[in-house]
Structure 1
Amino acid sequence: MSLKSSLAIAAGKSSYWFLHTFLKGGSSLPGIITNKIDPTILTTLARDYEVVIITGTNGKTLTTALTVKVLHEQYPDILTNPTGSNMVQGITTAFLTHQRTKSGKKLAVLEVDEANVVLITKYIKPTAFVLTNIFRDQMDRYGELYTTYQKILDGIANAPEATIIANGDAPIFHSRELPNPFIFYGFDHEPDGELMAPYNTDGVLCPVCHHILHYKALVYSNLGKYYCPNCGFKRPELTYRLTQLTQQTPTSSSFEIDGHPFKIQIGGTYNIYNALAAYAVGRYFGITQPQIQHAIDADQKVFGRQEIIQVEDKAVTLILVKNPVGLNQVLDMIALDQEPFSLVTLLNANYADGIDTSWIWDADFESLTHLPIPRFIAGGEREKDIAFRLKIAGVPEAKLVKKPELDDVITEIKVLPTKHVYVLATYTAVLQLRKKLDEKGYQTAPMAK
């Protein structure tokens, strides 16, 4: 190790100790300091690690958490970045602060921001990439779908021997010829039919001839068993498949993968894809089906992802939303709730949220008007925008409360007419609300047995 690398690591670890001890933080700044001193430090830190990079628009955080759980069945010591700090500085901090406690294989499972894949693979050569999906998201940062995918491909080009474990139901992941070996996972639980994606769905043009894709089965958005009636382009053969969707509630899903039963303690069809991705990674690393079943069946609540916080007599479910496809899936999920609930929507427009908030107009807020929701709260830094969107969707003024300040939102939650409250919030709004709730002594509610 060079003197510069040693100095960089020492400075990074010292800054983390100070920030973590006195400010209860330190997920990014230590990595910034370390990279400032030695821009190539990741090469040193990641030496001898087998690295799995997980990237895509939606599902990175939960897929990473589930993958770590699955691999823990056989590998006790895994480096990861559970805080969701998924850019170069956060990943550097994860390596700096990892305390190895076991001998054996050195594994790292890293959630990586799409635009940072190329920056990471400049210094780290992963064993595998996991590609969850690509939807229109943060237009100011990523642009359109194929622009985002090109950012990922630029990173993959630095590791042409790495295995790509991809969502086979996403047409974009079958659109380019690559030298890498591929493993595809997807849904295969319905008989073939003849379907078209909704008229305003992105990513449904055939990448070969630009004809509109058709579907033999459609899961949501542009995901499903697609084919082109013009040139024959179609979904690749799946290696791992969901073979039955047994039951879904707002808090759980039961299903079968390759004929074996699984249950995850988190709702939403999109989260089944995350479990399927973790299953595929586990099989790639030789984890047995019973071991994967044991890992996935365990409770898996992740910060801001259907985390339930008890606020006096209210059970507040906190859900991150950041783009139209993800939000629509959340709306479909909460519509399954058999108990009455109130709804809070918090919209921020900082860099981490996406400065362009026009995406809220592509989400199906109109579906809310068909649900018996007695009270809505609109809040966050862009409270006026989200309140206006709800009004246009058909939410009556008499049911809508506008509270831009989060302290006022929390006060209003306490007097809502239902015991259950869903909070749909963008990234920085999740962080801000979670911090305020913690300061007020409100903690994650224990899981019901």
Structure 2
Amino acid sequence: MNRLLIIIGKIIVGVLRLLGRNAGNLPGIVLWHLTRGKCCKMFKVDCPIIAVTGTNGKTSVTNCIAQLFEQSGKKIIINKEGNNLDTGICSLLLRHCDMSGKVDADYLILETDESHVPVVYSQQKLETLVVLNFFRDQLDRNGEMETLIQKINGFCKTFSGNLILNGDDPNTARLGRANPDNKNVKYFHAEPYAFATKEIFEASEGRFCPFCGEALEYDYYQYSHIGKFRCNNCGFGNNEPYMTAKDIDLEKPVFTADGHEYSPKLNSIYNVYNMTAVASAAKLYNISSEVTENVINNYTVNNGRMESFMLGDRHATLNLAKNPVGANMTLRVMNEMQGEKELLFVLNDNVADGLDVSWIWDINFSIFERVTRVVTSGTRAYDIAVRIKCSGYDASKIVVKPDLDEAVEELARTEGRKFVIANYTAVQPTRSALKRYIEKHGGEHNENG
């Protein structure tokens, strides 16, 4: 039966490729129905599987870990296109298996949607799970964050493999207690950077101990609820770090970890945590320091993630923000930059975004610094404009342009540094609008930020 299913799946892949499609999800959807939800079970995978999950940063960390092994001469399979549900992973394995379903690789490195970790890895044996963070995200699909954490916590209760956890996120660190018999739990941590605070300034989901209910005490907050925390009642949070980022200087940017100095291309505390997770995986798998430094120092993001554009002589940075934390992190980068700047915020409410846009009320616009003007666009341009006005920002400095091309024209009309935030389905149309402006008026597009 498995062989027949594999043949059917490969035929679908072949037809889609003939039609110019990448076969990223549809073959898996068909096999999901034919196998009654067990589409990943029919593959024979003998190599170790490393999975990366969490609300933000999955793609970057997955790609970096894959580069660690590639540059070490290993044959890896990765879902680089980001199809991270069970159907997408099934489609990926279909493209890389023989007719018996056997997958030939040294390692599988798989970005995995948080809600699908228990689904996929009840069907395939997982060796290492990297968990980055948990924030409220796409409530239409995921529900409240606690529901999502409980799903992964249930999986971790019987998981005895390597568990690499963000020790500065109480929602992630709690997974380390799910299976008391698992001796392979490792935490990564970051010492405070220049803009760490004693008080919380953004939406937080980690205020109380998940084990005894007492309020958590923080030595400092890096962003949102990420920071050095502890429960004075039961000791939750007192974990020995496996990897610690120190001497963080985002001006250069540079940080040290495990005695090595790294100079990443992206200067945000958010990226420091991502790269510390990568360094943790490198240490676990004995990747050489030369390879690790090369990967961390040269990794760049594109496709709407801190992507750089020159609109004439105006420098603009575009970043995806699909939840409050993603938006807040871009605002932090913007605020920490000296000089005056302007913001374009593009907000859509398509199905893939989540029809509920109430998450914008968890974005902290009240900490704007030297932001002289805001342009809003997208299907919910007026909603985000009202939200920014309600934060206390001068309404006379807000310009609403639902049409994206008009919004970009408006943004570029004045001098100064520009930042663009776009949510999930808005990113690609925004990129296209920025490129159209450059074609019409001149400028430059640099996908490497």
Query: What's 1:52 paired with?
Result: 50
Asked if the contact 2:203/2:324 (under 8 Å) is kept, the reply is no
- The answer to which of 291-300 and 212-221 deviates more is 212-221
Once superposed, what is the RMSD of the aligned Cα atoms?
Answer: 3.0
Asked if the contact 1:72/1:78 (under 8 Å) is kept, the reply is yes
1:298 matches 2:298: yes
Q: Percent identity?
A: 30
Matches within 5 A, 1:10-409: 10-19=10-19, 21=20, 26-38=23-35, 39-45=37-43, 47-98=45-96, 106-156=106-156, 160-175=159-174, 176-178=177-179, 179-180=181-182, 181-188=184-191, 197=200, 201-245=204-248, 247-249=249-251, 253-368=253-368, 370-371=369-370, 373-409=371-407
Query: What's 2:446 paired with?
Result: 445
User: Which amino acid in the other structure matches residue 229 of structure 1?
Assistant: N
User: Which amino acid in the other structure matches residue 129 of structure 2?
Assistant: F
Number of residue pairs matched? 435
Question: CA 1:311/1:76 → structure 2, altered by over 3 Å: closer, same or farther?
Answer: farther
3-state SS of the aligned residue for 2:261? strand
User: Which amino acid in the other structure matches residue 59 of structure 2?
Assistant: T
User: Which amino acid in the other structure matches residue 388 of structure 1?
Assistant: V
- The answer to which of 103-112 and 73-82 deviates more is 103-112
Q: TM-score, normalised by structure 1?
A: 0.87
User: Which amino acid in the other structure matches residue 164 of structure 2?
Assistant: I
For 1:12 and 1:261, locate their aligned partners in 2 and report how far apart those are by CA, in whole Å.
Answer: 47
Question: CA 1:33/1:164 → structure 2, altered by over 3 Å: closer, same or farther?
Answer: same
Asked if the contact 1:328/1:364 (under 8 Å) is kept, the reply is yes
User: Which amino acid in the other structure matches residue 220 of structure 1?
Assistant: Y
3-state SS of the aligned residue for 2:5? helix
Q: TM-score, normalised by structure 2?
A: 0.87
For 2:385 and 2:72, locate their aligned partners in 1 and report how far apart those are by CA, in whole Å.
Answer: 49
1:276 CA displacement: 0.5
For 2:332 and 2:430, locate their aligned partners in 1 and report how far apart those are by CA, in whole Å.
Answer: 24
For 2:23 and 2:3, locate their aligned partners in 1 and report how far apart those are by CA, in whole Å.
Answer: 24
Question: CA 1:184/1:329 → structure 2, altered by over 3 Å: closer, same or farther?
Answer: same
Question: CA 1:109/1:435 → structure 2, altered by over 3 Å: closer, same or farther?
Answer: farther
Task: Output one character per residue of 1:184-208: Cα deviation in whole Å (capped at 9) or x when no partner.
Answer: 1111358xx9956569632221223
1:437 CA displacement: 5.1
1:431 CA displacement: 2.8
Segments of structure 1 that go 5 or more residues without pairing to the other structure are: none
Asked if the contact 1:5/1:41 (under 8 Å) is kept, the reply is no
Task: Output one character per residue of 1:344-364: Cα deviation in whole Å (capped at 9) or x when no partner.
Answer: 101112333232211211211
3-state SS of the aligned residue for 2:263? strand
For 2:254 and 2:141, locate their aligned partners in 1 and report how far apart those are by CA, in whole Å.
Answer: 36
Asked if the contact 1:145/1:203 (under 8 Å) is kept, the reply is no
